[in-house]
Amino acid sequence: MRVLLSTLNAKYIHSSLAMAYLYAYCKDGAWDMEIKEYSINENLENIMAEIFRKRPDVLAFSCYIWNIEYILQLCADFKKISPQTCIVLGGPEVSYDPVSLLKKHQEIDFIIRGEGEITLKELLRAFCGQGSFKNVKGITYRQGDYIYHNDDRELIDDLDIIPSPYNRENIRTYYKDKIIYYETSRGCPFNCSYCLSSTMKGVRYFSLERVKKDLLLFMEEKVKEVKLVDRTFNCNEERAREIMEFILENNSCTRFHFEIGAELLSDEMIDFLKGIPPGIFDFEIGIQSTCEKTLQAINRRSNWQVLKRKIKELIISQNIHIHLDLIAGLPFEDYITFKKSFNDVYNLEPDVIQLGFLKLLKGSPIRHDSCKYGYLFQNKPPYQVLKNYYISYEELIKLKEIEELIEKYYNSGIAKNTLKYLVEKMYQNDAFIFYEKMADFWEERELFDRSHKREAEYMILRDFILREHEEDYFAVELLKYDYFLNNHAHNLPSGFVSFNPDNAGEILYKLLKNRDFIKQTIPEWEGKTAREIRRYVHLEYLQDNTIYKKNCFCKIIPVLFIYNPVRKKAEKVVDVSSFL
């Protein structure tokens, strides 16, 4: 029997932890099993042709809100050309109301509900005649004209019975150049009403011995990035710290991403985190809202003042990449209330702000209570909110525009100094008003829903500054500085004024031939020729107030930007006046 496990990831670089677990637990000499992952950006015809050539007897897909529509279309067509293939679906998007799904989609034969490792293995054994379908817990299935819904399966108590899905061979081949997803636990201590984790009580852990063995493998193989998908990694602080300390003792180049609950951080843990070398840990922290009434309605219990203090301490240390989440469309949070939540989070100055929109997932408590709050939401995945009693569709459209600008300008980091100046000095720390006005500017010029090159994004921001603050040329000069900080370029975008003399190129070569200058500023490049160094630097004459952050015109100075060869961003900025 040939078994094909498959899914469609959101991006090529992603990998499916669910598929990896199923393969590790279910591989058996009684059947031939293979994993094949695709992405939603690939052509469905090509995917179906490749699956058909594998001639699977059992085809199993892992389903989520981002891929379910593609998978259902794929299954409907595949069943026509391979009716003998048994199609099995699993995952959070099909675990709720599976009977209705089977009635609507005749091409689907089995649905696995909840955790799938034990269930899939028992189901495959039943296919081989080793047991009956009616004795397999956790499945809903079609047999003739009837649909059967078996009892739920208990959650796996001892997670270590699932073999680790990772080994040196597949890390070097199958997972090469992909993000590795990993979990040290399942479940969540919280019961947020918009999250499916709220439907499963308690937290279960893989043993520390198992976790350390896996993490050591990733670090020894120099995996670039590991994303831990634990819903709240630090719910057991002692255990979390032991894992982090193990990483610090053994890591050389791997970056680790954690989802944490900042409200759970003790002062001792914060002190420990402040001492971590930069570039190793990324933290994603769900704020969602700072409105107390909203937090109570979604079963989140956090004190914003306490949370703010703890997050601020982490951000000030500048050694951990901090990613803060907000959700628009929650109960009791109208447009004005959301503005406050936005500003509360923005003014903490995290590295990334994710402005998400509520999705009323199947099986979530908030979807069950949708009438209570007047929710209208999309009929199809991702079931995103359209309006409720507190916020209109028109207001959500505006927030969507603001979200796009946050991604383009704030999260990308392309105009960090300019944005900080504008928000603090021109908008008195009301970041929401700044982005709202800029969204209006983009909308008036029909700039949304069109692709723009990086240079154009700077030009648009410059035009906005000049329209709203025509006397503030300092902001435009600051934008020039940001442009060269973030782009290894030799020329300014159209519309910006350059102060470079005509012989700037000659001046640069003279500077790079100065051995004393090289020794003092970039000693790591001693011994290289001026031509070699020229590839990684740019000389630009700027107003010195942009470099020294003074809002007054002083004088024009020569500034050398020294770039990282890979990231194309300036690692060092030097006032070279004294060397010329």
The pLDDT score that the predictor gives to residue 549 is 63
Task: Catalogue the E-assigned strands of 214-351.
Answer: 225-228, 255-260, 281-288, 321-328
| Share of residues in the chain with pLDDT > 90 (%) | 86
Question: Is pLDDT at 232 greater than 80 in this prediction?
Answer: yes
Q: pLDDT band for 231, please (50, 70, 90 cuts).
A: very high
Q: CA 538, CA 489: separation in Å to the nearest integer?
A: 7
Q: Domain limits of the chain?
A: 2-149, 159-391, 407-481, 498-579
The pLDDT score that the predictor gives to residue 552 is 56
CA 150 vs. chain centroid, Å, equals 36
Q: At what angle do helices 431-444 and 335-346 cross, to 10 degrees?
A: 110
The pLDDT score that the predictor gives to residue 210 is 98
Q: pLDDT band for 550, please (50, 70, 90 cuts).
A: low
Q: CA 127, CA 141: separation in Å to the nearest integer?
A: 13
Query: What contacts 25, CB < 8 A, 6 or more positions away?
Result: 117, 118, 120, 121, 161, 162, 163
The pLDDT score that the predictor gives to residue 553 is 55
Mean pLDDT of 373-397: 97
Q: At what angle do helices 267-274 and 237-250 cross, to 10 degrees?
A: 10
Question: Is pLDDT at 412 greater than 60 in this prediction?
Answer: yes
Q: pLDDT band for 568, please (50, 70, 90 cuts).
A: confident
The pLDDT score that the predictor gives to residue 70 is 97
Burial-class residue 367 by CB neighbours within 10 Å (0-12, 13-18, 19+). middle
Q: pLDDT band for 201, please (50, 70, 90 cuts).
A: confident
Domains 2-149 and 159-391 alike in fold:
no
User: 140 with 147: CB under 8 angstroms?
Assistant: yes
What are the backbone angles phi and psi of residue 330, rounded to the nearest 5°? -80, 160
Q: Which of 296-310, 330-344, 484-498, 544-558 has the lowest mean pLDDT?
A: 544-558
| Share of residues in the chain with pLDDT > 70 (%) | 98
Question: Is pLDDT at 198 greater than 80 in this prediction?
Answer: no
Task: Catalogue the E-assigned strands of 63-135.
Answer: 86-90, 110-112
Mean pLDDT of 441-453: 95
Q: CA 390, CA 413: separation in Å to the nearest integer?
A: 32
Question: Is pLDDT at 473 greater than 90 in this prediction?
Answer: no
Mean pLDDT of 48-66: 97
Q: CA 331, CA 315: separation in Å to the nearest integer?
A: 29
Per residue, the 3-state secondary structure of 326-390, as one string, reads: EEECCCCCCHHHHHHHHHHHHCCCCCEEEEEECECCCCCHHHHCHHHHCCEECCCCCCEEEECCC
Q: pLDDT band for 43, please (50, 70, 90 cuts).
A: very high
The pLDDT score that the predictor gives to residue 249 is 97
The pLDDT score that the predictor gives to residue 527 is 87
Question: Is pLDDT at 74 greater than 70 in this prediction?
Answer: yes
Query: What contacts 375, CB < 8 A, 6 or more positions away?
Result: 360, 366, 385, 387, 388
Helix (H, G, I), strand (E, B) or coil at 16: coil
Q: pLDDT band for 196, please (50, 70, 90 cuts).
A: confident
Mean pLDDT of 91-112: 96
DSSP 289: -
User: 137 with 150: CB under 8 angstroms?
Assistant: yes
The pLDDT score that the predictor gives to residue 506 is 92
Residue 140 CB neighbours (<10 A):
22
Mean pLDDT of 489-504: 90
| pLDDT, tens only, 102-141 | 999 999 999 999 999 999 999 999 999 998 999 999 999 9
CATH of domain 159-391: 3.20.20.70
Q: CA 477, CA 52: separation in Å to the nearest integer?
A: 59
What residues form DSSP beta bridges with 255? 225
The pLDDT score that the predictor gives to residue 551 is 54
- Candidates 28, 29, 37; CA nearest to 4 is 37
Mean pLDDT of 511-540: 91
- Candidates 344, 349, 307, 306; CA nearest to 326 is 344
- Mean of per-residue pLDDT scores for the chain: 94
Q: CA 276, CA 297: separation in Å to the nearest integer?
A: 36
Q: pLDDT band for 144, please (50, 70, 90 cuts).
A: confident
Tell me if the domain spanning 2-149 has CATH number 3.40.50.2300. yes
Looking up tokens 């703890």, which residue turns up?
Answer: 310
